[in-house]
């Protein structure tokens, strides 16, 4: 077994373990962290398949942006873990059947690639119509195909991600008992006279008379004592 095969089995084992922990972790934050680990191992497998662009996009887009956003959203939602675990075993047979069906379909699709025994090698140089060797770029070919043939699916995916971001922000700004957010509609209806009251006062006022010292007793008080 060569080094490439060894790395493939290592990445695959860690990927399967992380994917299993995503659906079995009791804490949603731990599930998101395991999902990030699964994405990192998948990017390693992409590198072994010489798809460098897909590997770096998986790291930058999903690990650097999407999964970090999911992690902050899950931490801010204040999810009740006990209520989420109540219906786990009730829906477990259905989830197991769906997982088995997906695994069977993937096995049927990929069985042809496993029988070939060797991954296709993408050459760094190709021959053009004139028979001359030109430099080949995976990134350029993928970008050309993505923004020409698959332009509409790309735009649909961008809209779905935008809706997901707006929904995540809306979920975090819901009404809570410990929330100190203000209602903008109430703030707009506030008038100036409700905030400030102008009182008419004289420009100058007479100073009050000074109080007598404590050791001096006024004559009225001495007459009252007699």
In a domain, 209, yes or no: no
Asked if residue 21 and residue 57 are part of one domain, the reply reads: yes
- CATH code of 113's domain: 1.20.120.1200
- Residue 176, C-beta contacts closer than 8 angstroms, at least 6 positions apart: 78
In a domain, 108, yes or no: yes
pLDDT of residue 98: 87
Owner of token pair 């929330």: 179
3-state secondary structure of 6: helix
Asked if residue 109 and residue 150 are part of one domain, the reply reads: no
Strand duo 133-135 + 125-127: pairing: antiparallel
Asked if residue 42 and residue 18 are part of one domain, the reply reads: yes
Taking residue 109's Cβ as centre, other Cβ atoms within 10 Å add up to: 9
| Cβ contact 138:122 at 8 Å | yes
Q: Which H or E element spans position 23?
A: helix 3-24
Taking residue 168's Cβ as centre, other Cβ atoms within 10 Å add up to: 17
Asked if residue 135 and residue 111 are part of one domain, the reply reads: no
Token pair of 118 as six digits: 């060797």
In a domain, 132, yes or no: yes
The tally of domains found in the chain comes to 2
The CA–CA distances, whole Å, from 16 to 5, 12, 21, 46, 216 equal 16, 6, 9, 15, 96
Which segments of 49-87 does DSSP mark as H helices, in order?
A: 52-57, 67-77, 81-84
Asked if residue 139 and residue 65 are part of one domain, the reply reads: no
d(CA 14, CA 7): 11
In a domain, 72, yes or no: yes
In a domain, 186, yes or no: no
Asked if residue 41 and residue 26 are part of one domain, the reply reads: yes
> Which residue range forms the structural domain that includes residue 160?
123-174
In a domain, 136, yes or no: yes
pTM over 0.95: no
* Predicted confidence pLDDT, tens digits, the chain (226 residues): 788 888 889 999 999 999 888 888 877 778 888 888 898 899 989 888 888 888 888 888 888 777 777 777 777 666 666 666 666 677 778 888 888 898 888 788 777 665 655 555 555 555 555 555 566 677 777 788 888 888 998 899 889 988 888 887 777 666 666 667 677 787 788 777 777 777 887 777 777 788 777 665 555 555 555 5
Query: C-alpha angle 135/137/138, rounded to 5°?
Result: 150
What does DSSP assign to residue 66? I
Among 154, 158, 159, which residue's Cα sits nearest to residue 143?
154
pLDDT of residue 135: 66
Asked if residue 111 and residue 8 are part of one domain, the reply reads: yes
Asked if residue 9 and residue 96 are part of one domain, the reply reads: yes
Largest CA distance in the chain: 134
């Amino acid at each position: 077994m060569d080094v490439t095969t060894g790395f493939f089995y290592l990445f695959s084992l860690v990927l399967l373990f992380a994917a299993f922990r995503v659906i079995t972790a009791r804490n949603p934050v731990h599930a998101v962290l395991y999902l990030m680990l699964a994405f990192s191992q998948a990017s390693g497998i992409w590198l072994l398949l010489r798809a460098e662009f897909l590997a770096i996009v998986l790291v930058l887009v999903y690990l650097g942006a999407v999964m970090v956003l999911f992690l902050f959203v899950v931490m801010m939602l204040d999810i009740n873990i006990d209520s989420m675990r109540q219906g786990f075993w009730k829906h477990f047979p259905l989830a197991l059947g769906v997982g088995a069906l997906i695994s069977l379909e993937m096995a049927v699709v990929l069985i042809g690639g496993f029988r070939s025994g060797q991954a296709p090698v993408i050459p760094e140089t190709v021959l053009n119509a004139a028979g001359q060797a030109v430099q080949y770029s995976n990134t350029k070919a993928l970008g050309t195909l993505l923004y020409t043939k698959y332009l509409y699916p790309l735009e649909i995916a961008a809209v779905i991600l935008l809706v997901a971001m707006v929904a995540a922000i809306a979920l975090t700004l819901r009404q809570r008992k410990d929330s100190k957010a203000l209602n903008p509609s109430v703030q707009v209806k506030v008038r100036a006279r409700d905030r400030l009251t102008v009182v008419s006062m004289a420009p100058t006022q007479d100073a009050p008379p000074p109080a007598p010292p404590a050791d001096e007793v006024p004559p009225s008080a001495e007459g009252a004592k007699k």
